[in-house]
Amino acid sequence: MTTLLESLRQHTTVVADTGDFEAMKAFRPTDATTNPSLILKAVQQEQYRYLLEKTVQAAPQASIPELCDRLLVAFGSAILDIVPGRVSTEVDARLSFDTQASIERAHNIIELYEAAGISRNRVLIKLAATWEGIQAARQLEADGIHCNLTLLFSLTQAVACAQANVTLISPFVGRIYDWYKKSAGSSWDEAANAGVNDPGVKSVRKIFNYYKTYGIKTEIMGASFRNIGQIQALSGCDLLTISPTLLAELQEKAGDVPLQLDPDYAKDVAPEWRANNEVNFRTRLNDNAMATEKLAEGIRLFTADALTLDQLITQVKAQQA
């Protein structure tokens, strides 16, 4: 009997949202995504500690930022031995408002991958979907470096990413859901806001309809899921990046996942074309309280985990000195 995961694969490319190699081997995703939080979680496990120690030992004179990049690339390289497609590797969230520094850091990451014998075509550089991050991605794409714009919570960000010709965007579902649920408080009706009515799902559907209507080539990868209902409601999205816990739930349940997102239907809806420039971007993002708050919060959380990762690297460096 077909499982939900097998059925989903018929409509959508499944991506593993984890730094856990064993989970990737178990669920056989096409691509994999990482971020500072996932790498931090992984290196705190005994089975992956060796990668941290090996990275520091191989470049004892390197700075902490350089060692962090080397660690990310070590994980990415190991992941690419498992998945047939691409891995997303994130630029330090502390550079989310610095276009030039983001470009330089991305080039360094790609150089490390290429030194390891890995083609840049198998790597997506992740950047926060701030105005500065999007402009960094514009230049990187022109340089032949493919980008994945993350912490994306609105059509405004998605339109700017499309006009920057980025390869892929990661609109967040669960964090949007979290914001609306918290805002509603005791008046929140879970049943009424489930499935296709979930506010996070509706946000991704809006972006999907816009992109497909106007023939935008940027790939859409739904991310940040809280339950498999959100995943099933986005069947047909270009890609979906899913945690091992939810992948396991999809694999354990039998059933069919019908197609929910269809480019032909998107063209029937025909969303209005949006002009975009920096003023429009900042104004519309500011008008969207949810997107503004979740973008800022996401950068803060990734920054906190990056700082903790720095501390772990510093400790290992001191131990090996």
Task: Locate the domains of the chain by residue range.
Answer: 4-320
Neighbours of 91 (CB within 10 A): 29
- Quote the pLDDT of residue 133: 98
**Which residues lie below 8 Å from residue 15, measured CB to CB, with a gap of 6+?**
29, 30, 31, 32, 33, 221, 239, 240, 241, 242
CA atoms of 178 and 298, how far apart (whole Å)? 13
Averaged confidence pLDDT in the chain: 95
Residue 1 has pLDDT above 80, yes or no: no
Residue 34 has pLDDT above 90, yes or no: no
To the query of whether residue 206 is one of the catalytic residues in this protein, the response is no
**Residue 272: DSSP 8-state:** P
Give tens-digit pLDDT for 137-153: 999 999 999 999 999 99
Task: Give the mean model confidence (pLDDT) for residues 82-88.
Answer: 97
CA atoms of 139 and 105, how far apart (whole Å)? 13
Percent of the chain with pLDDT over 70: 100
Task: Compute the chain's Rg from CA coordinates.
Answer: 19
The third-level CATH classification (topology) of the domain covering 4-320 is TIM Barrel (3.20.20)
CA nearest neighbour of 71 among 47, 89, 55, 48: 55
Give tens-digit pLDDT for 216-242: 999 999 999 999 999 999 999 999 999
Percent of the chain with pLDDT over 90: 90
CB distance 126 to 147 below 8 Å: yes
CB distance 249 to 228 below 8 Å: yes
Residue of 41, 54, 126, 181 marked active site: 126
Q: What is the largest CA-CA distance in the chain?
A: 64
CA nearest neighbour of 87 among 17, 36, 5, 25: 17
CA atoms of 6 and 181, how far apart (whole Å)? 31
